[in-house]
Structure 1
Amino acid sequence: MQSTNKNDKKLINLIRGWPSPHLLPAALLKKAADKALTDPSIFVPALQYAPDPGYQPLREELATWLGRAYKTPSRAEEICITGGASQSIACVLQSFTDPVYTRAVWAVTPCYFLAFPIFEDAGFAGRLRAVPEDDEGIDLEFLERGLRSVDEAAAAAGGDDRPPYKTPGPHRKLYRHIIYIVPTCSNPSGKTTSLSHRRALVNLARRHNALIISDDVYDFLQWPILPQAPPTSTALTPLPSPSPTPLLPRLSDIDIALGPSEHDPAGKSFSHAISNGSFSKLVGPGMRTGWVHGTSDFAYGLSQTGSSRSGGAPSQIAAAMLTSLLATGDLDTHLSNAVRPALQARHAAALAAVKSELGGMGVAVRESSEVGKGQFGGYFLWLTLPRGLKGMDVAELARREENLIVAAGEGFEVPGDEGGVRCEGNLRVCFSWEEVEDVVEGVRRLGRVLRRVEDGVKTEEGNGGGMGSEVFK
């Protein structure tokens, strides 16, 4: 098979899960910053050390905004301001897990790959367990068998007799298990967990003294699927705010409604599910600001993480600016008029390109986040390759031959438990970062790669061979 020269081709990066530069609201942030930095009642507290739970005006505005979006009353004391979704996970693990007491971390797979180092840094290398998805988002029977098996093995080995290293004190508690899930428009698969599965998952966590860390970063990035790809020159149509369709209840709302559990200390109500939110995809990752929603006891306990108590919650000045975006309605306008319409159009163009360029070669793609709902969300398309092809091999050939970067499915497998859920026959394509025409061109290049592979396989078979390594040399 003759190689092409990639050196004259523009690099196209379909791995990078960043918002397009066109969607960064610099003017709105400048307006918010001007207000914050000219009013002493705002800039004096905003430039000082923060309260442990975070900037109070932001907690109050978030409670109102989230309550309206989810149609569930939220209270400021149920919210702890964080340094974004990733930093938040690290703080949760610091405060609510213990290397001895906590038995395992269960990750719905395919899984957001950059979460793995956070769990490993907290002492869970070798104890990460993959949980497969099903049509409704998570294989609950698989998870229940796994939880029960680990608990029974720990009891048989006398593991419960070992004292934990950490002493959480009166404001925190330790959990036996952590369950990590992106229940809405999951990264990378795009699936949304159904309401019935959400309820069942919360009840399962409560039975096994588990904490669900629910990454809810894509909840406000959903849209109706366009019937066909719009031309790149088509004007964007504003979508209703804060979301074009009613949002499913957060796992944290389902949990709070159930009240304290049998695992709670007397007089306390700690969450068995928390909502891990972030402004990274809504405003910009550089704001480094997010929030956790849970019971008021959990929110306060999280605020007592040592790194927060030493200086208070992170992102104090950014929090003041974001408060203004929420209070003025500028964030809702930005999401309705810019972010969601742009992602809707990008998704339609990328999906149409996948169908036209790759569909004839047996590549399958998830088209809807929830079965039968006609909507999608997030940043990614999850492709299933024809049987026998490996994502890592195709991604390497795309990089070498087409100057195209795509994410191989193998990277979304849980380290140390790769045999549990395999993703080697998949690729993830991001449509949020590159220009729309470059996303479409990237899919065309991927089609050329797969045609070369197909031609190479036919040549190998004609020579009496199989799908040998020559295809990928």
Structure 2
Amino acid sequence: MTKVMKSTSSSPKKPIDLLSGWPSPSLLPPLHLEAAAHSVLTDPQIAVQSLKYGPDEGYLPLREEIAKWLSRFYVPKNPVTLDRITITGGASQNLACVLQTFTDPIYTRNIWMVAPTYFLACRVFDDNSFSGRLRGVPEDDEGIDIDFLAKHIEASEKDAASQGNTEPMLKTGYPWRRTYKHIIYGVPTFANPSGRLMSLRRREQLVRLARKYDALIVTDDVYDMLQWPSEAGEDRSKFRKAVLPRIVDVDRYLDGGPISEWGNALSNGSFSKIIAPGCRTGWAEAAPKLAWGLSQCGSSRSGGAPSHLVASMIHQMMSKGELDQHMEQVLLPGYEKRFKRMMQAVQSRLIPLGVIIPQPDKDVSGGYFVWLTLPGSLDAEAIRKKVLEEENVTVITGPKFRVAGDEDNEATKFNQNIRLCFTYEDFDLLDEGVTRLARVIKSSLET
């Protein structure tokens, strides 16, 4: 996310950034990366392979390590196999490759985005000829509003039929390409921006719906491993495994398994949140045929999988246990401490003013963000401007998380919502940032 500009106000107050969805510099692992780079570049065998064009599917040792790592964390009914993994240039870059490979600008009807949405994904969809066909689907207490989605996706099918759509395609068919009629995009675990956790029941309903309407569910599963107990004093060890299966796992077993060899779900993973954004390295997991097809995207075929050199460095970190060590000793306790510091401030200063947050899971918390609903008739944009001008605190408001081109959707306005990020700003300023925001909300309610 773009770094915010500091306030131009003459206020002497120290600026506080609760907007930027970045990891704290204090929690990055430069020494681990330095050691990994040294191991790669000083071993002639590894160095030669890492500095060449890599295979389309990505650096083989990293694919093998990721398959074992995911199997340990998610504990699926069957282990994750090598042929389900493709190395990517990170979640954002891979989303573009997914669209290039598995959609058609005419045949693919719509992009359905869980809203509030990760708004920067809208540009990726627009770049792939879907401008004007992005549709927001609101959340409910279980995650995506499945009834809303079913109603509108069925209406889109009827509309296409009424127009005599003969389902033409612009793209030529190849054995690695499978074109879907719909794309469903979301962040089901610790969603950006709402922080919600989609229930297992809702994940299963979504897979059944995708199968019915020939949709590919693309999930950004980038926050899954950033989880911790909601209550102080709980045993942290039980949160070192996933509390819910991913949607791509659900598609493997639900109702006897996928209805075709391609499947209807793809998990978009990234090391940006657990190592560093600058690594620009991630992975995709899907049914073997879908994973292989993704690796045949033209940009990969031209030069091999992206981030080949960094992939070899990340493999060093994983194979030596350094990534697990960094997460266990630094990242997870650091983010848990930050989250609980912010939530204490929210509970003591904002909730008494009538601010509402999504009902937290009684057992597990995680991710990067806290989503607020303002009380009364307060307008989020007005509060954002006021807290910047008067208190030198930067936040981002709900309207930013609308789906581009679908702003008139009454179910996804978010005019009274604010997102706070607890992962970037200095720990000692998190409480102060919420305190300043509370002052502005209180004064606005009184006027």
For Structure 1 versus Structure 2, the TM-score category normalised by the shorter chain is over 0.9
Are residue 240 (structure 1) and residue 234 (structure 2) matched? no
Q: Which residue of 1 aligns with 2:394?
A: 405
User: Are the equivalent residues in 1 in contact too, given 2:399–2:413 (CA < 8 A)?
Assistant: yes
Change (3 A) 1:240 1:335: farther
Q: Work out whether 1:297 is the aligned partner of 2:297.
A: no
Q: CA deviation at 1:227?
A: 4.0
Structure 1 residue 439 and structure 2 residue 438: aligned? no
* Number of the residue aligned with 1:216: 221
Offset of residue 239 of structure 1: 4.5
**What are the residue-to-residue correspondences of 1:58-457 with 2, within 5 Å?**
58-72=62-76, 73-159=79-165, 161-227=166-232, 239-240=236-237, 243-257=239-253, 258-261=256-259, 264=260, 269-366=261-358, 368=360, 370=361, 373-418=362-407, 419=409, 420-455=411-446, 457=447
Deviation per residue, 1:165-221 (Å, 9 max, x gap) = 111411111000000010101111111111111111111101100000011001100
After superposition, give the CA deviation of every residue in 1:381-409 in whole Å (9 maximum; x if it has no partner).
Answer: 00110121111111111112211110101
Aligned-pair CA distance for 1:37? 0.8
Distance (whole Å) between structure 1 residues aligned to residue 327 and residue 431 of structure 2: 24
TM-aligned CA deviation for residue 255 of structure 1: 1.3
Q: Distance in 1 between matches of 2:258 and 2:365?
A: 34
Query: How far does the alpha carbon of each residue in 1:433-457 deviate from its partner, in whole angstroms, 9 at most, with x for none?
Result: 00112111111111121122123x2
SS in structure 2 opposite 1:100?
coil
Whichever residue aligns with residue 312 of structure 2, its letter is A
1:298-335 deviation per Cα after TM superposition (whole angstroms, max 9, x unaligned): 01100111111111110011100111111111111111
Task: Write the deviation string for residues 403-437 of structure 1: whole angstroms up to 9, x where unpaired.
Answer: 11101011111122222412111100000000112
1:55-77 CA distance string (max 9 Å, x none): 01100000011011111211111
**Structure showing greater Rg:** 1
Deviation at 1:7, TM superposition (A): 3.0
Q: CA RMSD in A?
A: 1.7
Residue number in structure 2 paired with 1:25: 29
4+ residue runs over 4 A deviation: none
Deviations 1:255-281 (A, max 9, x none): 1334442xx5xxxx1121111000000
- Unaligned 5+ segments in structure 1 are 229-236, 458-473
State whether residues 227 and 364 of structure 2, in contact with CA within 8 Å, keep that contact through their aligned partners in structure 1: yes
Q: Secondary structure at the match of 1:365?
A: coil
Is there any run of 5+ residues in structure 2 with no aligned partner, and where? 1-7
Q: Is the 8 A contact 1:238 1:337 kept in 2?
A: no
Alpha-carbon distance between aligned partners in 2 of 1:423 and 1:168, rounded to the nearest angstrom: 41
Sequence identity of aligned pairs in percent?
A: 48
Equivalent-residue separation in structure 2 for 1:40 and 1:131 (angstroms)? 51
- Report the CA distance between 1:5 and its aligned residue: 5.9
Look up the SS of the partner of 1:274 in the other structure. strand
Q: What is the CA–CA distance in structure 2 between the aligned matches of 1:150 and 1:349, rounded to whole Å?
A: 45
TM-score (norm 2): 0.94
8 Å Cα contact 1:238-1:338 kept in structure 2:
no
Distance 2:356 2:332 in 1: 25
SS of structure 1 residue aligned to 2:341: helix
Counterpart of 1:23, as a letter, is L
For 2:87 and 2:10, the matched residues in 1 are separated by: 46
